[in-house]
Chains A and B, each alone.
Chain A
Amino acid sequence: MWRYMGRKLLVYALTFAVAVTINWMIPRFMPGDPVRSMLNRGSISDPGALERMTAYYEEVFGLDAPLHEQYLNFWSGLLRGDLGISVMLYPEPVVDVILRAVPYTLALLIPAIVLSWIVGNRFGAFAARSKVLDNSILPIGYVLTATPYMWLALLMAWSLGIVAGIFPTAGGHSYALTPGMNAEFLASLVTHWFLPFLSMFVVALGGWAIGMRNMIIYELEADYATYLRTLGAPRKLVRRYAYRNALLPQITGLAVQLGTIITGALLTEIVFNYPGLGTLVLDSLNNRDFFLLQGVFLFVVIGVLVANFVIDLVYVFIDPRTRVQMTGASS
């Protein structure tokens, strides 16, 4: 048990270290002088502010110190929760800017992932029922996974938002409303949330359906299924076992697909100008606010790692095979 978890944690720790190192290396080793060019192009009009910022960044980067010292300083700043100051929203700390955007992204991501996973698995299992269903659901699934997230978002914003006028197509809530816990504002949140959510949900659906279809066909051919059929067990029982067993690798698939779906969320947000991390990425790129960009990057990596770990834990408790192997190994 501990060996297994230890290995997983080691991979996650390493991944985190690699991500931080990438973050540290890129501004220092890229051709040109990114820091300077960032400041030059930063959209700051007040010369006094620019001067203060230049001084700040030179201190932060500590470019005069030896490399290993720079690297250690970078880590110690990070561990104190210091991701720097945003250029675009100077002098607001990057962490605050990101924390403001995270709830919006999570509000899209979590329902889209969970619902597409549930519905996609159902569809996939359904496809494996007959050749006709398989030949129609499978190609649809593949076309959906081949759809760029932003393109379906565009189609939905255009058709359901602009042409049909049913849903708003920009922002996280109506700009005319002040945020608060009143019905009008909450309704505005929901209507703005719906289209980005829907387009993400639809694209993600295809992948799960395909995964489930392949897994359940494999399970239906497994020996235990053949044995049950030989003993005359009804289709229903055999399918129930196969479905349940096919769900287990789909949980692992959740971890594997996480990166792709998060990417999808970022792209979808940009289309809808939804105030989450994706829009933040675009804004920081347009304003050459690399502190903010790197902050978002670290947040996403941390999120992916935490989610991976949670999935690992869940898996261990659901699959008796890993559970037994683990308790067996520790006893």
Chain B
Amino acid sequence: MNETLHVARRNPKLLIGLSVVLGFLLLGLLGPLFVDHGPNQYVGPQSEPPSAQYWLGTTTFGQDVWAQFVYGIRSTFLIGVLGGGVAFAIGTAVGFLAGYRGGIVDEILTMLTNVVLVLPALVVLIVAVAYLDARGLVVQAVFIGLTTWPWAARAVRAQTLSLATREYVDLARLSGRRTWRVIITEIAPNMSSYLVMSFILLFGGAVLTAAGLDFIGLGPTDGVSLGLMLENAVAWSALQLGLWWWFVPPGAAITAVVGSMYILNVGLDEVFNPKLREL
């Protein structure tokens, strides 16, 4: 364990990834506290470039882009945790069960996984979400979770299969413990690093999917998000008017958060998987 920590502290991918993610997290948590008006309020002059008063300028309606930005980062983390969390819960449950039980249960769950895997998630989401009149962040997260879990299920199933034949799992199984108890006490702890990495990938996927939905106009009604900022910027011709401060920051923040998450993941992989360290 000490060795893992030692390696972790020297892994630049892990350190850089983690600091960028934490930096944005802090911005999302604390930023809104220092903004004394709502993100969608019309507070200033219209279409102003960044200035000392409006750090990221204003929209064509005179909304403060910085306010939208920090609130948007907050909802980006929220959707990542919620959407990624729902997908993680379904994916790991299906994966564990399929890998541990085997037989017909495995057949059915694997078939289900493959079916959902082939369906293009965002397109399904568009059709489903389009019919909702009022959309909230939680509903969006649940829908995202319901469509993006399959690859996590596949990965967890493969890991579980390799663990399920180990002696200590056999012992637990023979001693008559319930399936879920064995999974939680014997299998999950032995692939915890793997589960952490799966969650990070699902988090990133959920953020990107939500941004896509928001951009199409299926974001939370009356909410703020980085994807909605992009949608509004395009809808109100920010491009043609040259209001770059309206659409550059939100996309850059999504890219930075998700990209650092991925790089952090590679770092984690190198730390947990000694074979990769040599390279």
Contacts and interface: CB of A to CB of B under 8 A. Distances in A.
Direct contact of A and B (CB under 8 A): yes
Interface of A: 10-12, 14-15, 18-19, 22-23, 26-27, 30-32, 34, 37, 131, 134, 138-139, 142-143, 145-152, 154-155, 157-158, 162-163, 169, 217, 256, 258-260, 262-263, 266-267, 270-271, 281-282, 285-286, 290, 293-294, 296-297, 300-301, 304-305, 308
Interface string B246-275: 011011101111110111001000000000
Contacts of A263: 120-123, 212
Nearest to B215: A150
Given A146-B262, A148-B251, A151-B251, A270 B126 contact: no
B240 A22 contact: no
A15 B121 CA distance: 12
A32 B130 contact: no
A213 to B, nearest CB: 10
Given A30-B131, A151-B247, A256-B117, 18 more contacts: A26-B131, A31-B133, A139-B263, A142-B259, A147-B254, A148-B208, A151-B254, A154-B230, A154-B247, A158-B244, A169-B239, A256-B151, A266-B123, A267-B212, A270-B234, A285-B217, A286-B217, A297-B127
Interface residues of B, number: 52
The SS class assigned to the B binding surface is helix
Nearest to B208: A148
Nearest to B126: A281
B120 A217 contact: no
A162 B208 contact: no
Contacts of A143: 255, 259, 263
Interface of B: 13, 111, 114-115, 117-124, 126-128, 130-133, 151, 204, 208, 211-212, 215-218, 227, 230, 233-234, 239-240, 242, 244, 247-248, 250-252, 254-259, 261-263, 266, 279
A32 B120 contact: no
A14 B132 contact: no
B115 A14 contact: yes
Contacts of B242: 158, 162-163
Given A146-B259, A217-B279, A304 B240 contact: no
A136 to B, nearest CB: 12
Contacts of B204: 146
B159 to A, nearest CB: 17
B226 to A, nearest CB: 9
From B111, B127, B151, B233, residue with most partner A Cβ within 10 Å: B127
Contacts of A282: 216-217
Contacts of B244: 158
Contacts of A301: 119-120, 123
Nearest to B150: A256
A258 B120 contact: yes
Nearest to A14: B115
8 contacts: A19-B119, A142-B266, A146-B258, A147-B255, A150-B215, A162-B239, A259-B122, A267-B215
A283 B76 CA distance: 26
Contacts of B122: 259, 263, 266
A305 B123 contact: no
Contacts of B13: 139
A148 B254 contact: yes
B115 A131 contact: no
Contact of A262 (B123, B256, B266): B123
A146 B151 contact: no
A271 B233 CA distance: 11
A154 B239 contact: yes
Contacts of A148: 208, 211-212, 215, 227, 230, 251, 254-255
Contact of B216 (A11, A162, A270): A270
